[in-house]
Amino acid sequence: LRLEPESAFVLPPKLFGAGRKNSAGLDLEVATQRAALQTAFDNLTVPSVPEFDAKQAASAYATSATSYKIWSKAPVAERAALLRQSADALEHQMPRFCAILVKEAFKTWGDAVSEVREAVDFLRFYADEAERIMAPVALPGPTGETNELRLSARGVWVCISPWNFPLAIFMGQVAAALATGNTVLAKPAEQTPFVALEAVRLLHSVGVPEAAVQLLHGPGETVGAALVALPGIAGVVFTGSTPVARTINRALAAKDGPIVPLIAETGGINAMLVDSTALPEQVVDAVVQSAFRSAGQRCSALRLLCVHEAIADHVIEMVQGAAKELVLGNTAEWATDVGPVIDKEAFDGIQKHIQRLHSTAKPLLAQSAPARAAANLIAPQAFELKQVSDVAQEIFGPVLHIVRWSGDPQAVIEQINALGYGLTLGIQTRIDSRAHALAAAAHIGNVYINRNIIGAVVGVQPFGGEGLSGTGPKAGGPHYLYRFCAEQTLTVNTTAAGGNAALLASMP
């Protein structure tokens, strides 16, 4: 196979914006919705949300536990119906929620539309799933007994969600707990409480009891810690950083009483392995989308490109060309592809990492953000490193590390496995058998062959990783709701009744 060299390759300027398909293959239809979105944006003020007093955690819990007694007894179809009504309501309020995401979380319009859709998908998917798995299952057994498996709710769940998908992940966690009959104490990310407040109001507006889902906004160190420490909670579901997942795990382990499950979805040093047969245009599109869309603020985002040395120069040149075409700026502008990172703290941390890379790696795309374009804006960056193990840390921003490789691609997969994370992986090759062998060898939760590695779709690409990337089960997948449920096996001896019936029948 020979690859023809290409001259400078440049992607169309509107890389992530209006008119393009998103990763779910859905037409964003932004053009037709623009007027409604813009009006919602212009009319919106994001108010500050009152903080919850961590000292009130026990009383919030008591209210939730009382509500649990009623909510958990409601037929699953009733709970599912309320979630479906919430999905409909959210669809109707799409412009307002998109506007909130742009204003509060600095999402681009394209990302905001995708996120509201994802939240709607979570509501409908978990409604369907709860109905599917909560129907009693008859199990085989010997004659003379019946066996059945029944699922029920566990109790009060603490849901702790991140700022990078402040609506979709928030709603996904809450919907999973509610659908299965649990009640919720929800702690949103400190940076994005308003969209969470609006999501909770929406749930209440269709009839989900106020006590069944309570919003407890505040710092993780106080409010989050107080919730996790509550003696009676039935489980914790968390999406965020690996260190915070560890802190929660330790706090749960230190408690007396029942063992409390933790569902954690954390970060990743996500790689894409590109061999010498890969299609360069496809690679560059996948790389730019995966590394720089959402300013790299996705746990699924590409951090490490491992490209075969035979095509490395060519691919790097194309990535440089494409990345320079991205429109950087304020996400309230329709044309913007890459907006600011979430806050000053994130900005400073990423800048520090970039400075370190300047002294340890070779800059391949060292741009600076246009002056005064937006606060906390970081222009996409790429650095070449010598080996996979040089990438020690997940950086939650638009920074791509590139490593050249040659020889056995399985060895590269082993080096990627050795990083200890296991969230997403891309494989780009035209050799099908190789792609499947590499995927099988990777200890990675979501593997994408010959495409980008972001934008997992609910029910289509169940999402979640291994090792440092989390505990599973995968969100948006067929096993997720089981973790929110208690399982009861019910065995009934039927011979006594049968014997009686036979005896009665034989009596004159």
> What are the residues binding ligand UN1 (CB under 6 A)?
162, 164-165, 239, 298-300, 454-456, 463
**Which is the catalytic residue, given 98, 118, 129, 299?**
299
Closest CB to ligand UN1 among residues 361, 419: 419
Secondary structure letter of residue 459 according to DSSP: T
Closest CB to ligand UN1 among residues 123, 454: 454
Contact present, 101 and 109 (Cβ < 8 Å): no
The minimum distance between CB 230 and ligand UN1, in angstroms, equals: 25
Closest CA to 80 of 157, 133, 149, 136: 133
The minimum distance between CB 85 and ligand UN1, in angstroms, equals: 24
Does the active-site annotation cover 466?
Answer: no
Cis before 473 (ω within 30): yes
The minimum distance between CB 28 and ligand UN1, in angstroms, equals: 16
Contact present, 263 and 172 (Cβ < 8 Å): no
Contact present, 376 and 340 (Cβ < 8 Å): yes
Distance CA 270, CA 454 (A): 10
- List the structure tokens of 272: 């894409």
Does the active-site annotation cover 159?
Answer: no
**E-only strand ranges, 282-423:** 302-308, 362-366, 381-385, 399-405
Closest CB to ligand UN1 among residues 41, 238: 238
Contact present, 232 and 61 (Cβ < 8 Å): yes
Closest CA to 185 of 67, 77, 75: 67
Closest CB to ligand UN1 among residues 163, 383: 163
Count the residues in the chain.
508
Single-letter residue type at 330 = N
Helix (H, G, I), strand (E, B) or coil at 461: coil
Please, what sign has the CA dihedral across residues 293, 334, 342, 474? Answer: negative
Contact present, 341 and 108 (Cβ < 8 Å): no
**Which is the catalytic residue, given 115, 118, 265, 466?**
265
Closest CB to ligand UN1 among residues 98, 454: 454
> Quick count: other Cβ atoms within 10 Å of Cβ 483?
17
The minimum distance between CB 306 and ligand UN1, in angstroms, equals: 20
The minimum distance between CB 189 and ligand UN1, in angstroms, equals: 11
Closest CB to ligand UN1 among residues 97, 165: 165
Distance CA 324, CA 321 (A): 5
The minimum distance between CB 127 and ligand UN1, in angstroms, equals: 19
The minimum distance between CB 111 and ligand UN1, in angstroms, equals: 10
Label residue 183 left, alpha or beta by phi (over 0 means left) and psi (-120 to 50 means alpha). beta
Pairing of β 183-187 and β 446-449 = unpaired
Residue bearing tokens 């941390």: 349
Q: Which amino acids are annotated catalytic?
A: 265, 299
